[in-house]
Amino acid sequence: MPLKERLKKLKEIKILIIRLKPVGDTVLISAVFRNLKKMFPQCVIDIVVYPSAREAIGANPYINKVLVLKRNNLSKLAFYFKLLFSTYHITIDYINNPTSSAITLFAKAGVRIGKDISRNFFYNYRFKLNKILYSAQKSLYPLKFLGLRNFNDFMPEFYVIDKDRKQAQDILKKAGIKKNDRMVGIFVSAKYPVRQYRAEHFARLASMIKKDFSSTRVLFLFGKDDRESILKIKKKLQPGKYFILISDGISIGVMAGIISHLNYFLTNDTGPKHLATALKIPTLTVFGATTEKSWNPPDTGRYATIRKRLNCAPCNKLECRLEGQTLRCVNDLAPEDIYKKLKVLLKKYLCR
């Protein structure tokens, strides 16, 4: 009997998803939960994440429990011990590192799905997909062992927690933003320099937006502790009625609440970009070292991209390998070139 049919006979199916990755990567597997629930309405889904990605789950209705694993060894040992007393039928490991493999081992599931790489003896179902695909779509392929045959329902989704939504509304109200104001958000930060477009160029783009769309408010959002970018924006622009800097340390959930109010979002390839996609906000992403096909939805109308065409990009590296680390992929892209595309998109999404 096929595995899917055997599983359907169970009154309850307990599934453990292992996703020890940052915020954006965690958001991008949200379609997995939705598809599992469609396949097995009786399933109960738990997910293991690191503390930094806890808020990336939001108020997802398909998740039963979010199990937060702290990174220190003592906490990991305690976590493994608790797993010995749990009952899971299926584990799906999207990481396949020593920690995630140990979680798979201690969860004792009969169906253990993992990547077809090292530590294969931890898994009895192994997936390998070398084809370049949007990460959210790629995350569905392990479900083929459970009977999934249609991989088209892959778009991520995010459900903002009520308290985060309320806090976001309070922040916007304090900034003087009214309910029907048109807003363009700009996310300036990035974890790696090879993914971060220059802050002063984003400031220049904001000035161009103000010139052509005078009633539109421009909101700048920043990552945690990115004081350098905040100072650069303040040096180029005068914050106030048109240019609003949300520079206080806000949580991922509150940021999602703010993004959900935007008419358009201009961003680097980073976590908030994936939140915007999951919230169905039209987006233009500036790509540097990373590959669009892997990190952007196929719908490049609503989720547009732009990059500087170079022989060295995309390199998919975490640091520039050119002599002097010139970061040409992000430094050589002129704001004027971005605005040619952005202006067309803003006319479409702001003027409807």
pLDDT of residue 352: 61
Where is 76: in which H helix or E strand? helix 73-83
Predicted TM-score of the model (pTM): 0.94
Contact call for residues 214 and 226 (beta carbons, < 8 A): no
The CATH classification of domain 163-350, taken from the options 3.30.1240.10, 3.40.50.2000, 3.90.1720.10, 1.10.10.60: 3.40.50.2000
Q: Residue 121: what pLDDT?
A: 81
Angle between helices 162-174 and 252-259 (to 10 degrees): 60
| All structural domains of the chain with their residue ranges | 3-146, 163-350
Summarize pLDDT for 130-151 with one digit per residue, the tens. 889 999 999 999 999 999 999 9
pLDDT in tens, 71-117: 999 999 999 999 999 999 999 999 999 999 999 999 999 999 999 88
**23, 51 Cβ separation under 8 angstroms:** no
Taken as a whole, the chain contains a residue count of 352
Buried/exposed code over 62-86 (b: 16+ C-beta within 10 A; e: otherwise): bbeebbebeeeeeebeebbeebeee
Domain 3-146 architecture: 3-Layer(aba) Sandwich (3.40)
Per-residue model confidence (pLDDT) at position 9: 84
pLDDT cut 90: percent of the chain above it: 79
Residue 211 has a pLDDT of: 94
Give residues with Cβ within 8 angstroms of 95, minimum separation 6.
18, 19, 20, 21
Between helix 252-259 and helix 271-278 the angle, nearest 10°, is 50
User: Please, are residues 28 and 139 in contact by the beta-carbon 8 Å criterion?
Assistant: yes
SS3 244: strand
The pLDDT, as a whole number, for residue 77 is: 96
What is the pLDDT at residue 321? 85
pLDDT at 119: 65
Query: Any idea what DSSP says for residue 58?
Result: T
Q: Which residues of the chain fall below pLDDT 70?
A: 118-119, 352
Buried b (16+ CB within 10 A) or exposed e, 273-289: bbbbbbbebbbbbbbbb
